[in-house]
Structure 1
Amino acid sequence: MTGVLSNLPPTSGALILLGVLLASSIFADAVASRTRLPRISLLVMVGVGVAIVQQLWLEAPDARPLDGLGEPLVQVALVMVAFLLGGELTRERLRLTGPLILIVSLSVIVVGALAVGLGLLAMGFPLVVAVSLAAISVATDPAAVQETVHASGDTRLRARLLLGIVAIDDGWGIVVFGLAMAALGWMLSGAGGGERALLEAAWELGGAVLLGTLIGLPAAWLTGRLAPGEPTQVEAIALILLLAGVSSWLGVSSLLAAMVTGVLVANLSRHHTRSFNEIEHIEWPFLVFFFVLSGASVDLQRLDEALGLTLAYILLRLVGRLLGGLLGVRLARERQADLPRNIGLALTPQAGVAMGMALLAAERFPEHGAVLLSTVVGATVVFEILGPVLVRRVLR
């Protein structure tokens, strides 16, 4: 059986695996409808199963599911999610919840990063590892939060607040990560390294805003001028592919660029709901690939090397999110009655953005690269399984 699978032509193998992954979502829906488990968690577990088969049974530890096809599928899925989340930030919504989003998100980010960084330093881990993981801990997986909130059907203030926070969390994450890398570069390699890292972070952030504006303005003008139906669907797909491709080419954050585009389309177009609706109709298959491939990216051979650090990172991040949420709710005095005190726990899901940050940190500090990657990938699987459960608990 192993020989048959390993001798499959690449095209046939990729097509079969795509079909299996989509079929797994049907299985996840069936199990989720009969249990209390979120289908996101089930899809991540399917991905872990793919990793076990590929790395242990087929003895191909370095192989990647779908090879080069997996990365663009994941990127398109994340761009779709970011664009839809950007559409949540309309003027009317920001007028009602904008200050609240800012207060709670900054509280969770500051307290959470300090908890992870200072906690790891107190435990004796190296400075590079502690600072890198503190910055990486800021990132939140918007796909998991958005899918869980939408599946719950909750439209209360807490649900709208969560959608608003995850829409800007990756922007905060890019800023914090860039500053952290700049600070480490400054301390370890002098002023030149710090300045270079700061310039790279500024381009990743500023270039994403510029790209999102350049694509978002004409998209906002075009949206609504086409007839509903197939032309609008083509328009929406073209928009997503352009954002994903050009941002990858320019080396800027595709998530932030997509969010900027979503904000512009939602606020400047009279018929903005058409594009968002068309993307929502085709989003789920891409999210299936994203969640399964996130679980399948676990390197089982290296998990034991960073087990202690992984457990410490998971616990400290949970504590930091909880305390940051408590502080944010306390600071938002006039809205305390409408917000649960454990709202920070609903911001624990973490996936692709955190992995990307870990790869960048590993490239910059190769001596700590293996432990950083193993820690973030292992923690990501835990957060993708535990996170949706916590989101549902907070919403209840």
Structure 2
Amino acid sequence: MIDPYALLTLGILFCVGLAADQLGRRTHIPRVTLLLLCGLVAGNLGLVPERMTELTDTVTITALTLVAILLGGSLKLETLKARGVEILVISLAVVLTTLIVVTVGLVLMGMDAALALVLASIATATAPAATLDVIKQSGITNRFTEIVKGIVAIDDAWGLLVFSLCLAIASQFVGQADDVGVPVLLEIGGAIVLGLVIGLPAAFLTGRIEQGEPLQVEALAIGFLTAGLAVWLGVSFLMAGMVVGALIVNLARHHTRAFHEIEHVQWPFMIVFFILAGAALELETLNQLGLMGVAFIALRAISRLLGGWLGAAISAVPHQERHLYGAALMPQAGVAIGMALLAGQALPLWEDQIIGLTIGATVFFELAGPFATLWAVRRSL
């Protein structure tokens, strides 16, 4: 039976998306945060039908796969030749600084070293969708935004590798299986292979019907095939999408606007994604964080700022930009929750602490992080 409430809800969600876009343009508030807040209010008032919340996983994977393809498209060989050193050094500096600062800080506060190490590895995760949308909303394209998009494209790959290693180390300390990191490594490797399988023919075939510009149907086909096969095979849809995007933008020389249609189709999915994500947020988790949770949030924020500055200094970025990279990489979202769930299963002794602290921190950075990104992007002018 057709559910009219689900159809009405979709119509309302798209209207809210339009309103958030216009309000964001006029007030300089990140529309990501506006959409999350709208979802938060709707969720707490019970205005989101249950059938819509059941679509959350599907919409999330679809939206983030499209974002990953767009981020992969930012990894042009020309960009990598010009900005590759900055992208690589800053991304590594942010991940490693986050790992060290958060681990040491939590240990000094009395937390078990193995638990602190796992939480620190989770803190390395970012929110590619929020970061990319803030940059797009700002309308600013310069060296800074190119570097940030490149960093975000590979940041979660570093994060997943660090997480798998730290989880394996922590599991050994508490006597768990010593191969818990293997599934994550296989997930990354399998995603790269899947990206090659889809990206290589897509680079050759797309954009040939309409004089070098892909059709919407082609864009949707690539996005859904990548997302669906990644979920079916149990590999990272983010990594697979990034590989697909990188291959298309670098190999499809017949394209005139390689990601024109993907940019068009991804925004409706993003509207539904952010509002449903907001509806799933529970502000009560912030009240339950306690001193350790506040410290976890503060340590992550400090480590991002410090890591961004260190990486920018090492890669000889101009002085006026060095303090901006950490702020631009502040948002955090679903990848961290996924890491927390996996860590909770591997370390049942600390499951409640890992999931509780991660969800609380994610709620904070998901709402406040886009403001930091928008501030950094505007200061880069």
TM-score of the two chains, using structure 2 as the length reference: 0.92
- Give the match for residue 356 of structure 2: 374
Structure 1 residues without counterparts, runs of 5 or longer = 1-8
- Give the match for residue 93 of structure 1: 79
Distance 2:38 2:267 in 1: 16
Number of aligned residues: 378
Q: Please give the residue correspondences for 1:11-50 in structure 2 after superposition, counting only pairs within 5 Å.
A: 11-50=3-42
Q: Does 1:365 align with 2:329?
A: no
> Closer, same or farther in 2 for the Cα pair 1:229/1:283, shift >3 Å?
farther
Q: Quick check: 322-331 or 254-263, which moved more?
A: 322-331
State the Cα distance separating 1:315 from its structure 2 match.
Answer: 0.6
Distance 1:201 1:222 in 2: 32
- Give the match for residue 102 of structure 2: 116
Of residues 206, 214, 223, the one that matches 1:240 is 223
Q: CA RMSD in A?
A: 2.3
Distance 1:275 1:360 in 2: 36
Q: Quick check: 355-364 or 297-306, which moved more?
A: 297-306
**Is contact 1:107–1:328 with CA below 8 Å preserved after alignment?**
yes
Distance 2:156 2:376 in 1: 21
State the Cα distance separating 1:374 from its structure 2 match.
Answer: 2.9
Distance 1:12 1:308 in 2: 46
Distance 1:319 1:384 in 2: 16
Whichever residue aligns with residue 390 of structure 1, its letter is A
> Closer, same or farther in 2 for the Cα pair 1:319/1:145, shift >3 Å?
same
> Closer, same or farther in 2 for the Cα pair 1:77/1:262, shift >3 Å?
same
Q: Please give the residue correspondences for 1:198-347 in structure 2 after superposition, counting only pairs within 5 Å.
A: 198-227=181-210, 232-300=215-283, 302-333=285-316, 335-337=317-319, 339-347=321-329
Of residues 362, 374, 380, the one that matches 1:392 is 374
**Is contact 1:181–1:194 with CA below 8 Å preserved after alignment?**
no
TM-score of the two chains, using structure 1 as the length reference: 0.89
State the Cα distance separating 1:127 from its structure 2 match.
Answer: 3.8
Distance 2:254 2:360 in 1: 42
> Closer, same or farther in 2 for the Cα pair 1:231/1:340, shift >3 Å?
closer
Deviations 1:162-204 (A, max 9, x none): 01100101111111111111112222235xx122x13212211
- Give the match for residue 348 of structure 1: 330
**Is contact 1:298–1:378 with CA below 8 Å preserved after alignment?**
no
Distance 2:272 2:156 in 1: 21
**Is contact 2:231–2:237 with CA below 8 Å preserved after alignment?**
yes
Distance 2:52 2:122 in 1: 26
- Give the percent of matched residue pairs that are identical in Structure 1 and Structure 2: 42
Distance 2:199 2:280 in 1: 32
Q: Quick check: 156-165 or 43-52, which moved more?
A: 43-52
State the Cα distance separating 1:86 from its structure 2 match.
Answer: 0.2
State the Cα distance separating 1:128 from its structure 2 match.
Answer: 4.7
Q: Quick check: 32-41 or 176-185, which moved more?
A: 32-41
Whichever residue aligns with residue 252 of structure 1, its letter is V
> Closer, same or farther in 2 for the Cα pair 1:295/1:125, shift >3 Å?
farther
Q: Quick check: 21-30 or 93-102, which moved more?
A: 21-30
Q: Does 1:166 align with 2:152?
A: yes
> Closer, same or farther in 2 for the Cα pair 1:229/1:325, shift >3 Å?
closer
Q: Does 1:146 align with 2:99?
A: no
**Is contact 2:32–2:370 with CA below 8 Å preserved after alignment?**
yes
Whichever residue aligns with residue 139 of structure 1, its letter is A
